[in-house]
């Protein structure tokens, strides 16, 4: 499989995946993984998530922005690992852009709720897995 084919299949995997796994590093350098819903993405390079400012992951990201996003399709044995850095965005533009109906359930003060934060993950490299094949690519 070529690099271009791997990236094309990876993007198809992103499009059909509802849940992504986000891994950040705790204060002792150990990985912690949790399921996240991507609000939007730009190709394979950039993903946006929302979360609580008070969450452990925000503290972890502020201490170390290194992160990994992982997606998989167990039926076809497809997997995608993206390694990069994640940023905490609390500016009004980002918060308004990614605000969704129903978020007030988690952020009762609305889009200006101080506990509402947007995360932006930017991939630096990826690995696409399918069957016994692994293709590594960079951005």
Give, in degrees to the nearest 5, the angle at Cα 74 between 41 and 43.
15
Q: What pLDDT is recorded for position 86?
A: 98
**Residue spans of the chain under pLDDT 70:** none
The gap from C-alpha 26 to its chain's centroid, in whole angstroms, comes to 17
Q: Could you tell me the CATH number of the domain that includes residue 48?
A: 2.30.110.10
Q: What pLDDT score does 74 carry?
A: 84
Count of structural domains within the chain: 1
**Which H or E element spans position 50?**
strand 46-52
Which residues fall within 8 angstroms of residue 123, CB to CB, at 6 or more apart? Answer: 44, 45, 46, 47, 69, 82, 83, 84, 139
Query: 95: domain range?
Result: 3-138
pTM of the shown model: 0.94
């Amino acid at each position: 499989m070529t690099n271009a084919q791997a990236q094309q299949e990876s993007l198809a995997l992103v499009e059909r995946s509802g849940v992504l796994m986000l891994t950040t590093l705790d204060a002792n350098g150990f990985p912690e993984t949790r399921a996240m819903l991507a609000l939007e993405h730009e190709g394979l390079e950039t993903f946006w998530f929302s979360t609580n400012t008070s969450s452990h992951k925000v503290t972890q990201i502020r201490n170390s922005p290194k992160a990994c996003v992982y997606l998989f399709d167990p039926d076809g044995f497809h997997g995608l690992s993206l390694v990069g850095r994640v940023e905490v965005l609390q500016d009004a533009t980002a918060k308004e852009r990614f605000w969704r109906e129903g978020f007030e359930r988690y952020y009762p003060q609305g889009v200006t709720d101080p506990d509402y934060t947007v995360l932006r993950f930017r991939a630096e490299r990826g690995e696409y897995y399918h069957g016994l094949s692994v293709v590594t690519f960079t951005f």
